[in-house]
Amino acid sequence: MKLALNKSLPAAELKHLNLGYMRLTDSAPMIIAQHLGLYQEFGLDVTLHREVSWANIRDKTITSTFDACQMLAPMPLVTTLGAAGIRAPIITGLVLSLNGNGVTLSSSLWRKMTQCTDGSQPINDALASAQALRAVLDTTQSSPITLATVHSFSSHTLLLRKWLIAGGINPDTEVRIIVLPPEQMVDSLAQGVIDGFCVGAPWNNIAVEYGIGIMATTGFEIWNNAPEKVLGVLESWHSRNPATHLRLRLALMAACAWLSNMDNRKASVEILSRPEYLDLPADYIRPSLIGEILHDRSQTAQSRSNFHVFSSYHSGFPWRSQAESILDQFAPLLGKPVDSEKMASLAQQCFRSDLYREAATRAGLNYPKQDAKPEGVHSQPWMLDEDIELGSDLIVKPNAPKRNI
């Protein structure tokens, strides 16, 4: 798919690129750009490298093993800040996807939760499922519940903490939260090492299909249209290769636009399943891509049209207000408060809305004119300007209103 470029592009400083990605369904933009020849259309020769952990993704970006990578949305911020003892300025000029995660609990824990709620099934109700877990903690004397996330400073950690807090559970003292790579989640649940996890597709679906887990809620129900994956590069790499970076963003924007079409998504399932990409059965990849989510193997799939968002709602735009919200939500884990001035400075440094606008202008696309928007207040899609439609953005809270999918 070609973007209608309105200006000739500057020559690429670097043509041969190594890009890192994870074994996740929302790696689709990076994979589809390769399969459709979009990188080549923009004069780039790309080699994709599948990684097993987000720490590897970060470290290989910092050491320049990778030129760019699919990265967790919070990672440019926390790595630039120096959280977890590693400091390196990382930026993003393109959000690759919104949503895509879920909280899955072991079948045995789910049975206890339904017993504590008179047999009701609070599936995909973030507040009700968190409150049911609270009831289990209040009524049983079992060993501490262990939940897993994919990285200490990930959107998954934010979602898991928000979900627990909404149910009246202190995530720091009443449950144990550990870090596991996405690919280890299902086996760890099956072996009883953990009682649940927050992870991206397709690993929730795989646990449900195996009959060992119930997807209690999607990430969308916890935080509507949260930024999930971004294109991450070292700030110094961008400074040396601005034209290459522009061409890379344009190729991925074209891939994201292609994935906004449902027929294309259906076609992408077989592509993603191939050994050179995700190397997983198509039946595991298909549900989240087409928005048919199986929460419980004994029930029918439910339609979740916004489970993955690749292009709608101007999803590629890196909102600095969302960057500040991420930093604010991570405050309990950072060890020291980040004042508002520092948050604004980090947001401006890491979430490069100017780079998105540069690519959008080249492609003849409209884009938001401001860097910030109200967060956590919209229960429906809404218009920022007459031609800028944005998605709902509510975050679950105790007694929160029902979200619209």
Residue 44, classed as helix, strand or coil, is coil
**122 and 93 housed in the same domain:** no
User: Nearest-CA neighbor of 159 among 214, 196, 120?
Assistant: 196
Integer Cα distance of 191 and 108 in angstroms: 12
Angle at 208 (CA atoms; ends 119, 58), nearest 5 degrees? 125
In a domain, 3, yes or no: no
Domain of 106, in residue numbers: 101-222
**332 and 371 housed in the same domain:** yes
User: Nearest-CA neighbor of 307 among 318, 294, 321?
Assistant: 294
**59 and 137 housed in the same domain:** no
Q: What are the pLDDT tens digits along the chain (405 aa)? A: 556 565 689 999 999 999 999 999 999 999 999 999 999 999 999 999 999 999 999 999 999 999 999 999 999 999 999 987 889 999 999 999 999 999 999 999 999 998 887 766 677 789 999 999 999 999 876 678 999 999 999 999 999 999 999 999 999 999 999 999 999 999 999 999 999 999 999 999 999 999 999 999 999 999 999 999 999 999 999 999 999 999 999 999 999 999 999 999 999 999 999 999 999 999 999 999 999 999 999 899 999 999 999 999 999 999 999 999 999 999 999 887 789 999 999 999 999 999 999 999 999 999 999 999 999 999 999 999 889 999 999 999 886 444 444
**188 and 237 housed in the same domain:** no
Integer Cα distance of 319 and 269 in angstroms: 30
Integer Cα distance of 25 and 46 in angstroms: 20
Q: Are 142 and 195 in contact (CB under 8 A)?
A: no
**105 and 236 housed in the same domain:** no
Pick the last residue of a domain from 170, 191, 222.
Answer: 222
Q: 137: domain CATH number?
A: 3.40.190.10
**279 and 353 housed in the same domain:** yes
pTM: 0.95
Q: How many CA atoms lie within 13 A of 26 on its CB side?
A: 30
